Structure 1
């Protein structure tokens, strides 16, 4: 039995780990690797793929949206750092849902589920997904490296995050933290659905928004600009069905 496998992740290290683990399984043949879901869509359309290790939070098109776009998706094992996506994984009938960093033991358990599925045991439930939902923490923290220390910031306290050259500012009601990090990295570490990128330099918590304008949003009486490339997604989220307010200028 040969399981033609595709690895999709925008982090090269994550791809390397899965390739290393897969090398221990003679049945797995890595057909290709992709760093975005659009390329993965093309690969799936043009090649016979039995199994996909699929990251969820990726630029432009998420892993879950990729699966929804396929009429007959292959077997899916979601690989992500975010517990919040577990419900989506369950709804999309994923074989399994692996939280990063992925231990080898947990990887092997997922492959065992794949083998059971291929051998006709179609009724296996993705237990790991259900367990992940039950264990989801009430609080979520962002860890910031500041002066050789890791500072823990509760994401519920964040008012907005701003990119300044090679640094980001994490603004809370009590304090502003500066750390050398790309805003795109910080975006990946935030709870899904709770935060929104509205500008190449700004991420905001949705529940802190006091008012919305096509060109800016207001949090704590501060106007935070909405970038040109983010106006449409903001209009769709904050004022759905009213295209009159959307202006690309």
Structure 2
């Protein structure tokens, strides 16, 4: 099994270290590196990436803000010189957190964790490879609540929380949209705005600048307009 990886760091030397270490880990294939996080976004949208090595404190946009721009978030290993970001990194379900400078052994340990996560995710795939587990668990306070995917209408970001709007109730979970997308199958859920993810099955109507889920019009952000075409393709309209 191979992990296709991408590295983003505003320091060229830091990227060189990742390149050297990745070359010595046989199951990691580093496909590209970027010093400019904005330039990496189109690449992430167009290519299948399993693992992202990501600096947190960068000019213009932080690594955490970058994740919020993505429809599909790969596994993430944060690589940074700032230990104070560690808690936030793990709140985002990061696979690991590498504090610079780190050794090859520590780098390989983080990569092994990512490989284990990928192998574990494959265990939820049924014999029909297009199917995934029909439910997720959503953390609400100190509890984990089982939620059937078919009941999720849309997700809305509310500050440091995500509101899961279901057919019969709502659940508020302390996480980001980027984190919530990690547990949702991409063929069933589409991010159309910095603050909204819609369930494709519950979309009733598509307008010029929004989509309707029930009686709620969900806005489509300017940077997400291409998602309308993807949505039309999925819905065959």
Normalising by structure 2, what TM-score?
A: 0.50
Pick from 25, 30, 47: which aligns with 1:30?
25
Please report how far the alpha carbon of residue 140 of structure 1 lies from its aligned counterpart in structure 2 after TM superposition.
2.0
More RCO (CA 8 Å, sep 6+): 2
Please report how far the alpha carbon of residue 166 of structure 1 lies from its aligned counterpart in structure 2 after TM superposition.
0.6
Report whether the alignment pairs 1:134 with 2:134. no
> Which ranges of structure 2 fall in alignment gaps of 5 or more residues?
8-20, 35-42, 51-73, 76-114
**Misfit runs of 4+, over 6 Å:** 31-35
The alignment of Structure 1 onto Structure 2 pairs a total of residues equal to: 147
**For residues 137-159 of structure 1, what are the alpha-carbon distances to aligned partners after superposition, in whole Å with 9 as ceiling and x for unaligned?**
67422211112110111111001
Q: Is the 8 A contact 1:196 1:204 kept in 2?
A: yes
Please report how far the alpha carbon of residue 224 of structure 1 lies from its aligned counterpart in structure 2 after TM superposition.
0.6
Larger radius of gyration: 1
Q: Is the 8 A contact 1:143 1:150 kept in 2?
A: yes
Please report how far the alpha carbon of residue 61 of structure 1 lies from its aligned counterpart in structure 2 after TM superposition.
3.2
* Structure 1 equivalent of residue 46 of structure 2: 61
* Structure 2 equivalent of residue 174 of structure 1: 168
Distance 1:153-1:62 versus aligned 2 partners, 3 A rule? farther
> Which ranges of structure 1 fall in alignment gaps of 5 or more residues?
11-22, 41-57, 66-79, 82-97, 104-127, 241-249
Structure 1 residues 32-47: aligned runs within 5 Å:
38-39=32-33
Distance 1:138-1:196 versus aligned 2 partners, 3 A rule? closer
Q: Is the 8 A contact 2:132 2:185 kept in 1?
A: no
Report whether the alignment pairs 1:188 with 2:205. no
Normalising by structure 1, what TM-score?
A: 0.48
Structure 1 residues 193-232: aligned runs within 5 Å:
193-232=187-226
Q: Is the 8 A contact 1:144 1:179 kept in 2?
A: yes
